[in-house]
Structures are given as C-alpha cells and as structure tokens.
Amino acid sequence: MIRIAVDAMGGDRAPRAPLAGAILALSELGDGDVVQLVGRPDVIEATVDDLLATDFAGHAVDRSRLPIVAASDVIAMAEKPTVALRSKPDSSMRVGLKLQADGGSDAFVSAGNTGAQMALSVLTLRLHDGLGRPAIAAIFPSARRPVVVLDAGANVDCSPAELVQFARLGSVYAEDILRRERPAVGLLSIGEEPEKGNAAVKDAHQLLAAAAGLHFIGNVEGRDLPLGEASGHDLDVVVCDGFTGNVLLKFYEGIAPFLIGLVADRAGHDPRALAAQLKELDYAEYGGAPLLGVRGVSIIAHGRSDARAVKNAILVAKRAVEAEMDVHIGRRLAVGASAA
C-alpha cells in the first residue's frame, strides 16, 4: 500500500486542481493505495463534495481512499519562504512533509510555493549525507527521448563537486522514474572539448571523467538538448548549475508557445488546436519534478498545474516510491563518497 500526501492548498488553481488530480489518480493507483489530502478540512470537504457532484458526477469514487489530514495554515504562492516557515508552523506543506518524516506517508506532492517546498523538505525530511542542498530535476522534451536537466533552480552558484552530485542524482532519476538503463550523462558547456566552459564546468568535466558509477559522455551544447543526443549517444541526463538550468527551463516554457503561435499564424492553424496536438511539449504530461537529495519523496508540480498535471505528479511520486528511488540515491551518493 502506497500513501501519497497531496497539498490541497498549493498552486494557482488550488484547492480545486490538486483535489481533482487526487481523485483522477485513484483509478491509476493500486486498489489499496491512498491519497492523503492535506489542508483545511472544511475547504477540502466542500471542494470534494462539489467535484463529485460536477466534474466527477457518476464516477464511482471511494472516499475512504482520500483521507483528510488537517492543516490550518496556507502558504501563499508569492510568500517569502523564510517568512512562511517562521510564521506558519501548521501549513499544509509542513504537515504533509512531517507526516512522511514520521512514517505516516510515503511521498508528498505540491503545486505550491516552490521555495517553501524546498526549504520545508530539507528541514523536515533532511538531506542525504554529503549534500549541501537538494536539486530540482526538470524534464526537457527532445527529438529523441525526454532529457532530465538538473539543477533547474535550487542551486545558483555551483561547485564542480556539486555538479558531480547532480550527475549521480540525475542518473538515479533516469533509471527509476524514466526506466533508462545506464543513463548517459552530459555536462552542459559551450563546446565539446573538455577545456571549454566556465571555471566550474572545466573542473567538473575532469571530476566526471574520473567518477565511478557514472556513464559520462562529455560536454554537450545547448543545441544537443532539443536533439536529445550528443556524440552518438541518446542523452538521458544533462548537468548544469541551477542558474543556467532555470534560465533554460523558463526559456523553453516561453519559446514553445511563441514558435507554435508563429507557425499557427503562418500556416493558418488555430494555435490552441495546434498546441493540443503537441502533448510531448506539455509540462502537465510529466507531472512534476522530484526534489532530489532529500531523504524521502517530495514532488514539485508546476504552479499552474491543472488536475491532469497533479494526477501525473502523483504517478511520478508512486513510481519513485515503488522504485525505492530514495534508497538508490543514498547508495549512489555513498559510492561517490567512498571513491572521493
């Protein structure tokens, strides 16, 4: 039995989207699995009642698989994480994560304030040994298979050693969530040659080339990401600092609608209809990004998540639990530490 806690109060479309996502997920989870709804009980009760009477009218929904976990505080999307942590001890985020730390839940999913989720995940679940910060893994659709890019924003200034940790974390993610064997890891740089790049990247290249237990294929460039391949390998993982990764991720989010709009305009298509045909570009397909490095499972869903995105984030959580991703990460980091 898997127990996944969902932040009912987090996200631009909360509480409706997370709760609808939880209901949607039930039919794709195992019969005994439950989705724990964390937040203000009155709001959750009323919203679920309404969803069952409207969007899910006529669906057989087993409400015993949707237990409510009470939390009185709500962290707003724009709130400063440090302030939220101090002033809201009973937030849905903290309660959901605490439940996991105490053994009452297996995973946590939120579309809420990312900074607060990161800080609370670290505080509550704690980090694996040897890590200074967690990393956010983002999925980039490509012409081949989706590519894991990390860090996508948790760490802005990264040391070469941290970039190597990202390679380990991303490899486990690719194995456990994307089911890749011996994932190929590229280091994002401005040229294939090992001597190309900024200071941290040049040093990281040397460390990665010597690292045990990694399938490092060398530097990759910006253009290799959309291709999904480099140096004759299908790309699985691309490592970069969180500044570059975050800029790229947001650039991708902006460039896709721009290009689709341009094509629609020129070729006489309806842009919405065209976008609907391009499911692989829809972040909702990928559900959520695991916060890698914490002892447990904390899935960051996009703030704009609709019900389908939340449902998919819950399924990512399920896969992480089933695959024992957390155990594998601990093991992989220990290999790195013993080799260092």
* Distance between CA atoms of residues 310 and 293, nearest Å: 22
The least distance separating a second copy from the CB of residue 222, rounded to whole angstroms, comes to 3
Residue span binding a second copy (CB under 8 A) among the ranges 6-14, 122-130, 247-255, 292-300: 247-255
Amino acid symbol at 106: D
Binding of a second copy by 169 (CB under 8 A): no
Residue 69 parent element (H or E): strand 68-70
Which whole-number Å values give the CA distances from 132 to 129, 136, 328, in the listed order?
9, 13, 18
Amino acid symbol at 163: L
Binding of a second copy by 231 (CB under 8 A): no
Binding of a second copy by 46 (CB under 8 A): no
Residues numbered 189 to 208 that lie near a second copy (CB under 8 A) are: 189-190, 197-199, 201
Residue from 55, 251, 322, 339 that binds a second copy (CB under 8 A)?
251
Please give the size of the binding site for a second copy, defined by CB under 8 A: 50
Q: Which residues does residue 216 pair with via DSSP β-bridges, in sequence order?
A: 185
* Distance between CA atoms of residues 91 and 113, nearest Å: 12
- As a whole number of Å, the end-to-end CA separation of the chain is 38
Q: How many CB atoms lie within 10 A of CB 16?
A: 17
Residue span binding a second copy (CB under 8 A) among the ranges 10-18, 93-101, 169-177, 182-190: 182-190
Q: Which is nearer to a second copy, 108 or 140 (CB)?
A: 140
Residue span binding a second copy (CB under 8 A) among the ranges 52-60, 151-159, 203-211, 302-310: 151-159
N residues, the chain: 340
Q: Which is nearer to a second copy, 27 or 198 (CB)?
A: 198
Structure tokens at 97: 């994560």
Residue from 52, 123, 274, 323 that binds a second copy (CB under 8 A)?
274
Residue span binding a second copy (CB under 8 A) among the ranges 84-92, 94-102, 225-233, 304-312: 225-233
The least distance separating a second copy from the CB of residue 243, rounded to whole angstroms, comes to 5
Binding of a second copy by 83 (CB under 8 A): no
Sign of the dihedral through C-alpha 205, 211, 217, 221: negative
Can you tell me whether residue 294 is helix, strand or coil?
strand
Residue span binding a second copy (CB under 8 A) among the ranges 50-58, 117-125, 244-252, 308-316: 244-252
The least distance separating a second copy from the CB of residue 282, rounded to whole angstroms, comes to 12
Contact indicator for 154, 135 with CB cutoff of 8 Å? yes
Q: What radius of gyration, in Å, describes the C-alpha atoms of the chain?
A: 20
Q: Which residues does residue 109 pair with via DSSP β-bridges, in sequence order?
A: 6, 299
Q: Which residues contact a second copy by CB under 8 A?
A: 142-143, 153, 156-157, 188-190, 197-199, 201, 221-227, 240-244, 246-263, 266-267, 269, 274, 277-278, 280-281
